[in-house]
Amino acid sequence: MSRATVKKTGTIEEDSSTESESVVHLKGEIHSSRGDHDKERELMKDGIDALVLEGTENTGDYGVTEGWFQQAIAGMFYILSPLYVSKEILVDFAELQGANVYFTRESDAEVLRNAPLTMRVISASLYFLLLPSSVIVGLITGDYLAGAGFLAVSFSVPVLLLRFYNMEFNSGDQNRDEVMAQKIADAAEENDTVLAVVGAGHADGIIDALPKTLNVTYHPPEYGRASKEHLKEILIPLFQTFSLLLTLYLAILWIIVTLVGFL
């Protein structure tokens, strides 16, 4: 597909030529940014016909060989949950306006299934290597902080490796950016005004994959990840994340020690 006609907010020069009556507001965000969340609500005030959210529509069904991925992604999101700004308000606002709500994937299982077998084996091997290592570190050395760090890595690295591969190396209906672009294009075919909220790292790939006939306005993040505003926002959530991680790790150790004691 050719690059979509894009207007970017801010100081970037605008190109207003378009062949489509549908308007797409593409909002790139930092998922932990309240400033971006406020901007998204502001974009909805004038009314939209459709909301497209980066995320899953349902939990999905996992096969026998996919259980490790279900555990890894559940653990990762459980630990990181304090950092993420919920999109429930956006969904509620859209439904009050009578707007259609779309998600960019049916379930998180797509992340695993869209990757080639080699990458799935590598990621699974990392998970089964790192997860026991986190337990061993805690039991043998008594260094619970290091063990908790291993646990966080065992959850996140295999998942992020697959997501990175799907975004950077896959193509067509297995490439994350192209899949999201198609979801947005489909929503624009059926609705006049579309707000699409995606991670800022996906924005360039999505814009490149959108049809050139779409009238797209790109709204970048309100501030950077390392900005003072963002760091102030995530200070307390980071502490909550650390608390969840350490509590989960200690609970795992307690369960293992208790089970061994019964043997």
Residues 8 and 26: beta-carbon distance below 8 Å:
no
pLDDT for residue 5: 54
- Quick one: CA dihedral 32, 167, 6, 189, positive or negative? negative
Mean pLDDT to the nearest integer, 20-32: 93
Give the integer Cα–Cα distance in Å for 108 and 69: 9
Tens of pLDDT, residue by residue over 147-170, are: 999 999 999 999 999 999 999 898
Answer yes or no: is pLDDT of 10 > 90: no
pLDDT for residue 19: 58
Tens of pLDDT, residue by residue over 82-139, are: 999 999 999 999 999 999 999 999 899 999 999 999 999 999 999 999 999 999 999 9
Answer yes or no: is pLDDT of 9 > 90: no
The secondary structure of the chain in percent helix, strand, coil, rounded to multiples of 5, reads 60, 15, 25
pLDDT for residue 61: 85
Residue count of the chain:
263
> Which residues share a beta bridge with 262?
none
Give the integer Cα–Cα distance in Å for 151 and 171: 32
What tokens appear for 184 in the block? 């947005």
Identify the DSSP state of 182: H
Instruction: List the strands of the sheet with 50-56, edge to edge.
Output: 5-8, 215-219, 23-29, 193-199, 50-56, 100-105
Answer yes or no: is pLDDT of 14 > 50: no
Tens of pLDDT, residue by residue over 169-219, are: 988 888 999 999 999 999 999 999 999 999 999 999 999 999 989 999 999
pLDDT for residue 170: 86
- Quick one: CA dihedral 187, 193, 199, 200, positive or negative? positive
Task: State the chain's mean pLDDT as an integer.
Answer: 91
pLDDT for residue 8: 56
Identify the DSSP state of 45: T
Answer yes or no: is pLDDT of 263 > 80: no
Query: Cα separations (Å) of 50 from 1, 26, 80, 195, 217?
Result: 23, 12, 28, 6, 15
Please report, to the nearest 10 degrees, the dihedral formed by the alpha carbons of residues 8, 10, 13, 19 taken in order: 30
> Which residues share a beta bridge with 215?
5, 23
b/e for 232-261, b at 16 or more Cβ within 10 A?
A: ebbeebeeebeeebbebbeebbeeeeeeee
Helices (H), 108-173: 109-113, 117-141, 144-168
Q: Nearest 5°: CA angle at 61, between 60 and 63?
A: 145
